[in-house]
Chain A
């Protein structure tokens, strides 16, 4: 177990470094100058800003970049990379460019808990809603409830969040105004965005559950359990779900990482100050420190949750040992 954890830690650090490096190179290759500003101050002012961020290379237009020799280009990029990686190793992610009063760390510290709270609530909804719906679908296979659930889950998987979110918003905040439309800070404000974010995962979990429950239901040991005279809920709750739950567990890892880092659409629609918006806005604004920080958090979460799932497997599945 300890040996396993140690190797996973080494692997995780390698993954983090690779993702960081690739992201950095891609960001440097992207055209666009984040230091232009609205009023285009004199060159000296702009240059001072670029220098403060260690990103002089971004001042060049694509044409100018093309004229540099590959050696010059590499020198610029390597110098900036060394600066950023060095700082990141000291847990200093630097100041953001587009919101200069806030460091990348400030942005992550204020927005990650929001995304985590919203994301975990959505996952809980998705997990329980999905398992219940999927199990019901399997039990009533081929009959009306199964058909209805299949259609609904299909809709859930296919409809993008801006459609479901807008629909929920219009219905529960405008037509029947029982819930607040946006904001953060009260439990009521959490309901609509959590459901919107959960729907896709709920539908996915339901489909996974249905398939694996059907699989398990036809197994011999279930027939034995029934023959012993166990009540149907005991068969399902104890024997079926214990075995059918494994695929759900492996889905939960990456899903958690995705959901916890926030969703751009849901955050925008419900005015939620989460982390997701910074991926998109950071890229649009060429805010390299912010994008790097956000990517680092996202990668760390994916790695961490996959590790959690692997450990959980060892606990729930006797066939797996670490």
Chain B
């Protein structure tokens, strides 16, 4: 045999063996045991397991299996259940919460969970250099926002944590003082940024022992270093492959954790995920792929299969109008644009997965006790009249409107459909401006757009998770909408301890947005779902916020 082929072949073969061995490959397929773990597939890898910093659905779902907050969600109704705190008291003014921590709460290494763990974690989130996406979820706590602002300001030495309304008289009691009565505060306490952290386990990973604000080496979030206090602990994490969760032997409610082990995988190609599911290598998928959605739902509706679980969720798709750019400074123009869209066309012809159109920003019927305003439905005559009133009869003299969207998913099609409706109904010109994710985000944040695609998933079960987006000066108020009347309504609601009266005020505030001011045009409520066989996997409940509680999951 000649050398030209042999030398490279041997070199390649050697490289293959080395690479395959280093990559953790096996020669034979690992045997299938009876106690097979439940395999849960996400569309993307977990971005971070630092609970203080997370904000993505996959991360939050995983964190809820690994950690436990002062309180927890009911897997189906999202009602508040005791967690680390076995009981709590709320003062009649709704401003002081006293949590009594159970003495049986344990970290996955056996250490007791105490109030100090919460103090440490919460203080860390409030420190701007931590980089917490959800820092504003702590602002209901008295003094929290001011403390954080002082730390991030020119004189960080003036920041004093004792001014923040978080105190613990002993390690089993945590007292939280709120700035205003916050009816959804317990809901926040069940959410990952509020989870405790095991400071001692993180200490060895401090980048600079003298200055903790420099942060931690990321390895603290990986096994075996990661210590958690929830139903599961992280046994293994192989980047872009899988996370292995196993029941924590020290968890106080171990008796209710039935799964022997849980594997969380990432499949970036939805086709591949679906094939793996059909081969039985995946038990549940946390998404229904858009390109097969219509077909899968049709099979589900004709009872050919029973494993597609799809429902309207706690999110709205809308268009943001930049209220500082003429002619959108005129609310008649904004309203005209809103009234000239046939939303039904968009959901039936573009999305085609049974999404519901909405005339409100807060998804209707998703918050117990909150009555949504009616909103306005399509009315082309009225739209034309409003546009004429604003000085543009039959669209004459109206400048070309720029429509900004990100080049992913179906955003382009939706933009083109809406642009065409505006053109046909109002006789105005639209230009389309598609950008990749990063630039789209920058333009949105800096209000460098006329009309932009928007979408929001609620973070806690309360209308303010949407309504705050339109508060003057809010960091997420991309359209720079500002209305003193609206701000006043929100402020009044924030000070109102009576939940019914508060919801009535918030109802009025939302009505102002969706019937009069139109800083954004609500289009449809997101729908989302899971794929799993209910005869095989039990307790995988689809609540409106898709906050699956891994704790209760088991095989049938």
User: Which residues from chain A sit less than 8 Å from chain B, CB to CB?
Assistant: 30-34, 36-49, 52, 61-64, 95, 98-103, 106-107, 110-121, 123-124, 127-128, 131, 166, 169, 173-174, 177, 180-188, 190, 237-238, 241-242, 245-246, 248-249, 252, 256, 268-271, 273, 277, 284-286, 308, 312, 315-316
What is the CA–CA distance of A188 and B29 in the complex, to the nearest angstrom? Answer: 8
Asked whether any CB of chain A lies closer than 8 Å to the CB of B128, the reply is yes
Given A48-B129, A249-B4, do A33 and B442 touch, yes or no (CB 8 Å)? yes
* Best-buried of B12, B20, B222 by chain A (most CB within 10 Å): B12
Interface pair B442/A31, CB less than 8 Å apart: yes
- The answer to whether B134 has its CB under 8 Å from any CB of chain A is yes
Query: Are A100 and B267 neighbours in the complex by a CB distance under 8 Å?
Result: no
Complex Cα distance, B4 from A249, in Å, reads: 7
* Cα of A252 to Cα of B6 in the assembled complex, Å: 13
The chain B residue with its CB closest to the CB of A118 is B19
Cβ of B215 under 8 Å from chain A:
yes
B12–A120 CB distance below 8 A = yes
CB <8 Å contact, B8 and A185: no
Q: Which residues of B contact A38 (CB under 8 A)?
A: 55-56, 133
6 pairs, CB–CB < 8 Å, chain A vs chain B: A39-B459, A42-B475, A173-B275, A183-B281, A190-B25, A285-B438
Are B2 and A241 in contact, with the CB atoms below 8 A? Answer: yes
Complex contact B442–A312 (CB within 8 A)? no
- Check A99 against B281 for contact (C-beta < 8 Å): no
User: A residues within 8 A CB of B12?
Assistant: 120, 123-124, 127, 256
Q: Evaluate contact between A284 and B438: CB separation under 8 angstroms.
A: yes
- The answer, yes or no, to whether B5 is at the interface (CB within 8 Å) is yes
Is B485 interfacial (CB-CB < 8 Å)?
Answer: no
Q: Given A186-B30, A285-B437, 5 more contacts at CB 8 Å?
A: A43-B475, A113-B20, A174-B275, A184-B241, A284-B437
| Closest chain A CB from B46 CB (angstroms) | 8
Tell me the complex Cα distance, A285–B47, Å.
Answer: 12
Q: Which residues does chain A contribute within 8 Å of B267, judged by CB atoms? A: 182, 271
Distance between A276 CB and nearest chain B CB, rounded to angstroms: 11
Task: Flag if B438 contacts A32 (CB, 8 Å).
Answer: yes
Contacts of A186 in B (CB 8 A): 25-30
- Contacts A42-B475, A315-B7 given: A117-B441 contact, CB under 8 Å? no
Q: Which residues of the other chain, B, contact A242 by a CB distance below 8 angstroms?
A: 2-4
- B25 near A184 with CB under 8 A, answer yes
- Given the known interface contacts A123-B12, A241-B2, A315-B3, the answer about A39 and B55 at a Cβ–Cβ threshold of 8 Å is yes
B241–A37 touching, CB < 8 Å = no
Q: Which of B49, B241, B281 contacts A273 (CB 8 A)?
A: B241
Contacting A at CB under 8 A, from B121-157, are 128-136, 148-149, 151-153
- Interface 0/1 of B212-235, CB less than 8 Å to A: 000100110110000000000000
Collect the chain A residues with CB atoms within 8 Å of residue B475's CB: 40-43
Where the two chains meet, the residues of B that have a C-beta atom closer than 8 Å to any C-beta of A are 1-5, 7-9, 11-13, 15-16, 18-30, 45, 47-50, 53, 55-56, 128-136, 148-149, 151-153, 215, 218-219, 221-222, 238-241, 267-269, 271-273, 275-276, 279, 281, 436-439, 441-443, 445-446, 448, 459, 475-476
SS of A interface (majority) = helix
Q: Which residues of chain A come closer than 8 Å to B135, judged between CB atoms?
A: 41-42, 45
The residue on B at minimum CB distance from A182 is B272
Task: List B contacts of A30 (CB < 8 A).
Answer: 438
Are A185 and B4 CB-contacts (below 8 A) given A42-B136, A44-B152, A273-B241?
Answer: no
- Give the CA-CA distance A190 to B25 in the complex, in Å: 10
Indicate if the CB atoms of B129 and A110 lie closer than 8 Å: no
B135 to chain A, nearest CB (A): 5
Given contacts A38-B133, A101-B221, contact A181 B438 (CB under 8 A): no
- The smallest C-beta distance from A63 to any residue of chain B, in angstroms, reads 6
Chain B residues within 8 Å of A271, by CB: 267-269, 272-273, 276
B11, B276, B476: which contacts A40 (Cβ < 8 A)? Answer: B476
Pick the contact of A33: B53, B279, B438 (CB < 8 A): B438
A121→B2 CA distance, assembly (Å): 20
Nearest CB of chain A from residue B13's CB, rounded to whole Å: 7
Of chain A, the residue at the smallest CB distance from B273 is: A271
Q: Which residues of A have CB within 8 Å of B438? A: 30-34, 36, 284-286
Give bound CA distance, A285 to B26, whole Å: 33
Cβ-neighbour of B47 out of A64, A99, A246 (below 8 A)? A99
Task: Give min CB distance, A288 to chain B, whole Å.
Answer: 11
Known: A64-B446, A181-B276, A246-B4. A48 touches B128 (CB 8 A): yes
Contact among B13, B45, B48, B443 for A120, CB-based, below 8 A: B13
B-chain residues with CB within 8 Å of residue A173 when the two chains form the complex: 275, 279
Whether the Cβ atoms of B239 and A61 lie closer than 8 Å is no
Q: Which 8 A-B pairs have the closest CB atoms?
A: A32-B438, A44-B152, A245-B4, A116-B19, A117-B19, A113-B22, A273-B240, A120-B16
**Residue contact B4 to A241, C-beta cutoff 8 Å:** yes
On chain B, the residues within 8 Å of A120 by CB distance are 12-13, 15-16, 19
The answer on a CB contact under 8 Å between B439 and A268 is no
Q: Quick check: A32 and B436 within 8 Å, CB to CB? A: yes
Cα-based distance from A47 to B21 in the complex (angstroms): 42
The CB with the most chain B CB atoms within 10 A, among A37, A242, A312, is that of A37
Asked whether B442 lies within 8 Å of A32 as measured between CB atoms, the reply is yes
Residue of A63, A113, A256 touching B19 (CB-CB under 8 A): A113
Residues of B within 8 A of A308 (CB): 11
Kindly state the separation between the CA atoms of A264 and B299 in the bound complex, as whole angstroms: 32
B residues in contact with A64, CB < 8 Å: 446
Q: CA–CA, A30 to B129, complex, Å?
A: 25
Asked whether, in the complex, the Cβ of A117 is within 8 Å of the Cβ of B445, the reply is: no
Interface contact A185-B215, CB-CB below 8 Å: no
